[in-house]
Amino acid sequence: MRHSDLKTALTDRAARWFIGILFGAVALVVLLNQLIPADSGLHVSSYTVTLLGKYLCYALLAMALDLVWGYCGILSLGHGAFFALGGYAMGMYLMRQIGDRGVYGNPVLPDFMVFLNWQELPWYWLGSHSFLFTMVLIALVPGLLAFVFGWLAFRSRVTGVYLSIITQALTYALMLAFFRNELGFGGNNGLTDFKDILGFSLREDSTRVALLIATAIALALAFVLCRYITGSRMGRVVMAVRDGESRARFLGYRTEHYKLWIFTLSAVLAGIAGALYVPQVGIINPGEFSPLNSIELVVWVAVGGRATLYGAVIGAILVNYGKTVFTGIMPEAWLFALGGLFVAVTLFLPRGLVGLADNVRQRLRKSDGNNSNGTANDDQPEAPHEPA
Amino acid sequence: MNLRDTFRRDRVFDVVRPGTRTIKPGELDTGGKYLLYMENITVSFDGFKALNDLTLYIEPGELRCIIGPNGAGKSTMMDVITGKTRPDQGTCFFGQTLDLTRMSETEIAGAGIGRKFQKPTVFPEHTAAENLELAMAGQKTTWHTLVHPLNGEQRDRIAATLNTVGLLDRHDHVAGALSHGQKQWLEIAMVLMQQPKLLLVDEPIAGMTRQEVERTAELLQQLAGEHSVVVVEHDMEFIRSIASTVTVLHQGSVLAEGKMQDVQNDPKVIEVYLGE
């Protein structure tokens, strides 16, 4: 049986590989950026450092979705909303860091508020100058929204496609709200023109490298946390809820509580991903709430493979790398490629790339066994593998 | 207060034997001769009487088979015991104190009545052992399941229960990959994990091979003694093979009850069921 405690979650094979590869890749990029001179062919540009940081934020977001979709069976089509809320919380702090270096030179009010003739900060901007307070907000705002939303939805036993539709409506409603200037988050333009974070200039290479490393650490911690949860008895109850909710309820589990906590945790992780994303790309605007973003996110997880955690990470990085390359060559065709990819994965790779790799490995092992024994041993039961 | 209320099973004993009872209300009292008392139960659906003045007693540790043609009320009887259906008339007591007609399904399950449904509903992507872990009695809150891994004693109990149903070698196999018969046994094991006093088994051998049927018969005989087992089954051959007390239901009431040979030779039974 898969026993689990924190120690095994940290030290099991998948976690070692995951953390090893993640930090190996990040260390390589950082070293090639910092130590190799810019005119050398081996030099990695700061653009690439930031690009990798961005991919890792997406990877964290995808892992958050995998937790609710892959393990708990809740297909959220609005997870981009939690990502954007975390991003806005960070954006508020970054706006306050600009201080009097804005276009209007107001030491307290961000430029867009001066432009709107506001005289003082709205109450919900109070405290945004504090990094500590901002860190609390980053977790609290998406978490609280997910908790209230989930409490209402799961208590009323809204499931399946209906739940997906209302999550989609949630992110759309937030997008429309954030487009409005009166809301006090910069309206259409969002929050941008950031200068510093914790006093370090965002234009410095060293700051970019530090942000990349911070993102990698967040991703690794989230991976260990999610593995601990999915490997615990609670994780097995969560999967039982996915596979047979009424049966699990009949066994005496309050399934709505399990769903609520997983959904809330996932939203917090998505918020952290958004907060790490904003200083690296330098802008947050209502477009991040766009339903399209949340759907793209589902494609990443589907491509990588559900219910493995690392599959979501692989999917997020590969699809986004593909997007970077593809939009460079023929930008207008990207959406068609993305749609085609989703159809292809659904039809041919129901368990994503991770499932494909598993199948290949099993086939190889089988043919290996045949060659060495000379005969296929049919009475040997095949290693159990989880069906799709 | 009407006459029936005055003579409800839990009241009568209070009057007759004042001060002798140490059992708290709501707790199972198995001090009587029987474990389950169903008396004069009537259930009707739109005028059709699914159960008609049914009276049935089950002893502790007994293995009882219930047979009867389709529509005889076998499933309705199970539904009444598990609280899924409320009787229009009659009383249903579990031990001396628990009035099943006033308890919810979860309360009844918690009091020690486990039911194995006809169709196996194991969790296909969990291993056999994990299925038992899910079914295990105990605290089922999110926090408890997150921070408390199984202890050694619980792990031993899972292994012992798997051993009872003959699935110990499938401990780490995914339940979806088990054969149909093995899924049925796993389901029985899941019910056993709730440590029931009374085990209700709905058509346990549907779709099983001959060897699996024999194994199931052995299993049910082995479980009786420690638990009371009530088996609902169509298959006469199977019931003969586990050779226990048989109750024949017909049109919602008991037609005959006794040893298999006696019941088989009862002309009434031959007429409605066995003779066909």
- Pairing of β B89-94 and β B36-45: antiparallel
List chain A domain ranges: 6-302
**Per-residue pLDDT at A117:** 92
**Does A151 reach chain B within 8 Å, measured CB to CB?**
no
Integer Cα distance of A351 and A319 in angstroms:
16
Task: Write out chain B residues lying below 8 Å of A251, CB-based.
Answer: 134-135, 140, 190
Cβ B123–A387 below 8 Å, yes or no?
Answer: no
Contacts of A22 (CB under 8 A, 6+ apart): A56, A216, A219, A220
SS3 A35: coil
**Does A386 reach chain B within 8 Å, measured CB to CB?**
yes
Mean pLDDT of B185-200: 91
**Per-residue pLDDT at B121:** 84
SS3 B58: strand
Reported ipTM: the value is 0.83
Average pLDDT taken over every residue of chain B: 85
Integer Cα distance of B211 and A299 in angstroms:
47
Task: Write out chain A residues lying below 8 Å of B190, CB-based.
Answer: 251
Looking at chain B, the whole-number percentage of residues with pLDDT higher than 90 is: 37
Residue B270 tokens read as 């031959």
For the segment A313-366, what is each residue's pLDDT rounded down to a tens digit? 999 999 999 999 999 998 888 889 889 998 999 899 989 999 999 899 999 988
**Per-residue pLDDT at A383:** 40
Higher pLDDT, B197 or B7: B197
Q: Which stretches of B178-263 are assigned E, i.e. beta strand?
A: 198-202, 228-232, 245-250, 253-259
Segment 245-284 of chain A within 8 Å of chain B by CB: 247-248, 251-254, 257-258, 261
**Per-residue pLDDT at B243:** 72
Higher pLDDT, B253 or A169: A169
**Residue of chain B nearest A4, judged by CA positions:** B149
Cβ A252–B146 below 8 Å, yes or no?
Answer: no
CB A91 within 8 Å of CB A193 = no
Integer Cα distance of A19 and A211 in angstroms:
17
How many Cβ contacts (< 8 angstroms) between chains A and B? 79
Mean pLDDT of B23-34: 69
**Does B234 reach chain A within 8 Å, measured CB to CB?**
no
**SS3 sequence of A67-115:** HHHHHCCCCCCCHHHHHHHHHHHHHHHHHHHHHHHCCCCCCCCCHHHHH
**Per-residue pLDDT at B158:** 95
| Fold of the domain spanning B3-274 | Rossmann fold (3.40.50)
Cα radius of gyration (chain B): 20
**Per-residue pLDDT at B237:** 82
Task: Write out chain A residues lying below 8 Å of B134, CB-based.
Answer: 236-237, 240, 248, 251, 253
pTM higher than the cut 0.80: yes
CB A276 within 8 Å of CB A211 = yes
Cβ B150–A1 below 8 Å, yes or no?
Answer: yes
Nearest CA-CA partner of A90 in A122, A135, A33, A141: A135
Q: Work out the number of other CB atoms within 10 angstroms of the CB of residue A267.
A: 30
**Does B138 reach chain A within 8 Å, measured CB to CB?**
no
Q: Which residues of chain A have pLDDT under 50?
A: 1-4, 372-388
